[in-house]
Amino acid sequence: MSQNIHPNRQDFNQYMVPVFAPAQFIPVRGEGSRLWDQAGKEYIDFAGGIAVNALGHAHPVAVKALVEQGQKLWHIGNGYTNEPVLNLAKQLVESTFADKVFFCNSGAEANEAALKLARKVGLLSGSANKNKIIAFQNAFHGRTLFTVTAGGQPKYSQDFAPLPEGIQHLPFNDLDAARAAIDAETCAVIVEPIQGEGGVITATPEFLKGLRELCDQHGAVLIFDEVQTGVGRTGSLYAYMNTEVTPDILTTAKALGGGFPIGAMIATDKYANMFVVGDHGTTYGGNPLASAVASAVFEFINTPEVLNGVRTRAQIFAEGLNELNARYGLFEEIRGQGLLIGCVLKAEYAGKAKDIVTLAGQEGLLALVAGPNVVRFTPSLIIAEEQIKEGLQRFDRALARFVNEK
């Protein structure tokens, strides 16, 4: 069968399961924070593959690691270990609170592993019925049946009942609700330090400290979902480092591979060692290709120069976005940490975030939404300052069109 060398956007509608609604243009090449589509049109990338492309597109460090490993060993399965995965595990352990690492392919799989481990912890506790999981409204933890149930957004789970039981959702940042719900039957609390998909909402320090204390009091595992906030996104290697709270288990993915699919669950020995051979597994997780790329990306990002640079770039974004908001008055708030940025629309523009993102694309800027009311930016952590300014100029033109067309 002949291959269509130049597929078009209509081919998506013809051949792909309709769970996405991609833009009408098809990107074909990227370099740094710039992209080009099939027609040769150029874009500034403020989306970063949804907080994935931490070094932008085709960064030499990632390309070199991929090519070198691709000429050695691609995949051998989990009946063997490999050098790249051991190097990456050591990097993660030595750079965080954790003692052990489980590698997988995505954030959803990392959260699935964390929740399964939490249930095993409850089973081994000796306390009857210690299997309740506390999660939070408006959260997002992935698309497997377990993780989509843990996420507190019914729109993603309601069509797939019956759902896994024993998960209770509480208001985010409501410590009183947590105190009332967390008890001896709670095996885990899973929380995002910043709710990314839920609207770029930061957990308060008091909330996270209170959850830590409640988990300690009731023998529950505290899980931080840092799939979106991890690997430099907030200006620290992980967002928990911006707080005075250390979780028992942390999940990481997205930026970990800089665009190559990989995820990980990291944990202290106290809990990691409750898993035994055969309890959990994955065919591709921690394969040499993914691990080699992630190791190179992680090493590059985990430096004061890059992490401090995130904070510098965040300030440039904040100043530019505040100037635009002073001009157009569309946003109630510009919020987030580091280069996880949410522009929250005022009530009179509710539901219009996607419209703004579409206009931005027409003006040569890739952006995201975080729900119907928030325009989200998650660019490369090393995006050039002149590209930030150029991207904001394109955003300016998109906002001007939005105001004139609404």
225 labelled as ligand-binding? yes
The answer to whether residues 218 and 326 belong to one domain is: no
The rounded distance, in Å, linking the Cα atoms of 218 and 268 is: 18
Confirm whether 1 is domain-assigned.
Answer: no
Question: 152 lies in a domain?
Answer: yes
**Position 265 pLDDT exceeds 70:** yes
Which backbone phi and psi does 260 adopt, to 5 degrees? -90, 130
Q: Is the pLDDT of residue 64 over 90?
A: yes
The whole-angstrom separation of Cα 49 and Cα 383 is 14
SS3 string, 202-224, reads ECCHHHHHHHHHHHHHHCCEEEE
- For the chain, give the number of residues: 406
Helix (H) or strand (E) holding 300: helix 288-301
Is position 204 annotated in a ligand binding site? Answer: no
CATH number at residue 118: 3.40.640.10
- Burial status of residue 12 (CB atoms within 10 A of its CB: 0-12, 13-18, 19 or more): middle
User: How is residue 393 written in tokens?
Assistant: 């100029």
283 is in an annotated binding site: yes
What average pLDDT does range 168-191 have in this prediction? Answer: 98
Whether residues 184 and 311 fall in one domain = no
Both 103 and 196 in a single domain?
Answer: yes
Is 361 in contact with 27 (CB distance < 8 Å)? no
| C-alpha to C-alpha distance for 152 and 167, rounded to whole angstroms | 10
Same domain, 294 and 231: yes
| Mean pLDDT on 116-140 | 95
Residues contacting 239, CB < 8 A, separation 6+? 193, 194, 224, 226, 229, 230, 233, 337
Flag whether 276 is in a domain. yes
Q: What is the 3-state secondary structure (H, E, C) of 40-109?
A: CCEEEECCHHHHCCCCCECCHHHHHHHHHHHCCCCCCCCCCCCHHHHHHHHHHHHHCCCCEEEEECCHHH
**Pairing between strand 42-45 and 34-37?**
antiparallel
Percentage of the chain with pLDDT > 70? 99
pLDDT of residue 4: 58
Q: Which residue has the tokens 């001896």?
A: 184
Show the domain range for 33: 9-58+304-405
Say what the pLDDT of residue 152 is: 82
pLDDT category, 128, cuts 50, 70, 90?
A: confident
From residue 101, give the alpha-carbon distance in Å to each of 148, 150, 276.
23, 22, 13
Domain membership flag for residue 4: no
226 carries a ligand binding annotation: yes
Task: Please answer whether residues 110 and 249 qualify as being in contact, where contact means their C-beta atoms are separated by less than 8 angstroms.
Answer: no
The domain boundary residue, chosen from 301, 331, 361: 301
User: What is the distance between the alpha carbons of residues 169 and 178, in angstroms, rounded to a whole number?
Assistant: 10
How far is 224 from 266, CA to CA, in rounded Å?
A: 10
| C-alpha span between 83 and 101 (Å, rounded) | 15
**Coil, strand, or helix at residue 36?**
strand
> Which of residues 301, 319, 340 is at a domain's end?
301
Mean per-residue pLDDT, 300-328: 98
Percentage, residues of the chain above pLDDT 90: 89
CA distance 204 to 54: 25
Q: Which of 310, 335, 302 shows the shortest CA–CA distance to 321?
A: 335
Residue 2 lies in a domain: no
Check whether residue 142 and residue 286 sit in a common domain: yes
Same domain for 275 and 175, yes or no, is: yes
Return mean pLDDT, the chain: 95
Q: Are residues 279 and 209 in the same domain?
A: yes
Q: What is the mean pLDDT of residues 226-235?
A: 98
Average pLDDT for 49-58: 98
Indicate if 195 and 167 belong to the same structural domain: yes
Q: How many CA atoms lie within 13 A of 41 on its CB side?
A: 15
Q: What is the pLDDT of residue 20?
A: 87
Secondary structure of residue 24 in the 3-state scheme: coil
* Residue 71, annotated as binding a ligand: no
Task: Round to whole Å and give the CA distance between 338 and 235.
Answer: 5
Give 324-362 pLDDT, tens digit per residue. 999 999 999 999 999 999 999 999 999 999 999 999 999
Residues 44 and 185 in one domain: no
Q: What is the mean pLDDT of residues 8-34?
A: 91
Residue 164 in any domain: the answer is yes
- Mean pLDDT on 60-74: 98
Number of domains in the chain: 2
228 is in an annotated binding site: yes
In a domain, 361, yes or no: yes
In a domain, 3, yes or no: no
Model confidence pLDDT, tens digit, residues 22-38: 888 999 999 999 999 99
* pLDDT attached to residue 162: 87
386: CATH: 3.90.1150.10
Q: Tell me: do 254 and 367 sit in the same domain.
A: no
pLDDT at 34: 98
**Residue 183 known to bind ligand:** no
Phi, psi dihedral angles at 190 (to 5 degrees): -115, 130
Tell me, yes or no, whether 247 and 356 share the same domain: no
Q: 1: pLDDT confidence band, cut at 50, 70 and 90?
A: very low
Q: 68 near 77, Cβ under 8 Å?
A: no
Asked if residue 47 belongs to a known ligand binding site, the reply is: no
Query: 283, 301, 319: which is the final residue of a domain?
Result: 301
SS3 of 326, please? helix
Q: Do 309 and 271 share a structural domain?
A: no
Q: Dihedral of CA 395/401/404/406: which sign? A: negative
Indicate the range of 67-76, 109-118, 140-149, 354-363 predicted with least confidence.
140-149
User: Is residue 140 part of an annotated ligand binding site?
Assistant: yes
Tell me, rounded to whole angstroms, the distance of Cα 198 from its chain centroid: 11
